Structure formats: C-alpha cells, structure tokens
Amino acid sequence: MLINCPYCGPRDVIEFTYQGDGNRKRPQPASQDLDAWNAYVYDRLNPAGDHNEIWQHSGGCRAHLRVVRNTVTHEILSTAFARGGHKSAGHKAGGNQ
C-alpha cells in the first residue's frame, strides 16, 4: 500500500502509523457527557468500503493525514493534512474529503 503524503509524496505504508478512525469527534475538553466520551473513545466505524482514517507519517515528516481508504481494495482515494490547509493528493482523481 502506498500513501501519498502531501508533503513527502507517495510512500510505503511501512512508514506510517495508523491512528484510528477519522470519523471520531472529540467532545469539548470540559464536556461531562459520558456518552459522547464513550462514543469517541470506543465506538469505531468498520465499513467495507471507503473509510476516513488518520495516519501519521511517523517514518517521514510526522504529519497526521486524513486518508480516505477503501477497506476492501486498499485503494487510497485521497490524502490531506489532518490540520487542514495546504495540499491534498490522491492516487487518482478524487478530492479532499
């Protein structure tokens, strides 16, 4: 699997660390809504198909990327910096998600 880091270019998956489901929403720090915290900490989508994921380029620029990956074919549809802005890139046509 190759992940196209917007900063470093296409790199082998061995350089990256999976940092979890990109759909999770962290509650506000002071939130006392335990259900929301529970959902954030434990609930994961597990789709057979396109999935929003966070990957860190730990063996490269160390940026976190939002990656849309098809969990069936392992095709990477798009990659973008998790903190937003700057470039985004995918292996084929398809934009930043």
Partner 1 sequence: MSPRRTETGGRIDRLRTIRFTFDGAPYTGHAGDTLASALLANGVTLFGRSFKYHRPRGLLAAGVEEPNALVTVLRGEVREPNIPATMVEIYDGLVAVSQNRSPSLAWDIGALNQLGGKLLSAGFYYKTFMGPVIGPLKGTRFWMFCEHFIRRAAGLGRAGTAPDTSRYERMNAFCDVLVVGSGPAGLMAAKAAADQGGRVILAELEAKFGGSANWSGETIDGAPAADWAGRVVGQLEGNDNVRLLPRTTVWGYYDGNTLAALERVTDHKEVPAKGEPRQRYWAIRAKTVVLATGSFERPLVFPGNDRPGVMLAHAAERYANEYGVLPGERIALFTNNDSAYRSAVALKKAGAAVVAVIDVRSDVSNEMSRLASQAEAELLAGHAVVATEGGRTLAGLKVQRFELTSGALSGDERSIHADCLLMSGGRSPTIHLASQAGAKAMWNPARQAFLPPQPTQRWIGAGAFTGSFSTAEAIAEGRSAGLQAAGGSPSSAPLPVVEAAPGEPDPAPVFEIKAKGKSFVDFQHDVTAEDVRLAHREGFVSVEHLKRYTTLGMATDQGKNSNVPGLAIMAEALGKPIPEVGTTRFRPPYTAVSIGSLAAERFGDLKPERLTPMHDWHVANGATMYAAGLWYRPMIYGLAGETVEQAYVREAAATRESAGIVDVSTLGKIAVQGPDAAEFLDRVYTNMFSTLAVGKARYGLMLREDGLAFDDGTTWRLGEQDFLMTTTTANAGKVMQHLEYFLDVIWPELKVTVTSVTDEWAGAAIGGPKARAILAACVNATAVDNATLPFMGIVHGEIAGVPVMICRLSFSGEMAFEVYSGAGYGTRVWEALIEAGKPFGLVTYGLEALGTMRIEKGHVTGAEIDGRTTARDLHLDWMLSKKKPFIGSAMMDREGLIAPDRLELVGVIALDNRALNGGGHIVEELDEENPHDSIGHITACCYSPALGKYIALALVKGGKARHGTRAFVSDPLRNRFGPVEIVSNHFYDPDGSRLHG
Binding site for partner 1 (CB under 8 A): 1-2, 12, 17, 19, 26-27, 29-32, 34, 37-38, 40-42, 54, 56, 58, 62-64, 73-74, 82-84
**Sequence-separated (6 or more) residues with CB below 8 Å from residue 95:** 78, 88
Structure tokens at 8: 């470093």
Among 16, 22, 51, 57, binds Zn ion (CB under 5 A): 57
Rounded least distance, CB 6 to partner 1, Å = 13
CB-neighbour burial class of residue 58 (10 A; exposed 0-12, middle 13-18, buried 19+): middle
Residues at the site binding Zn ion, with contacts judged by CB under 5 A = 5, 7-8, 57, 60-61
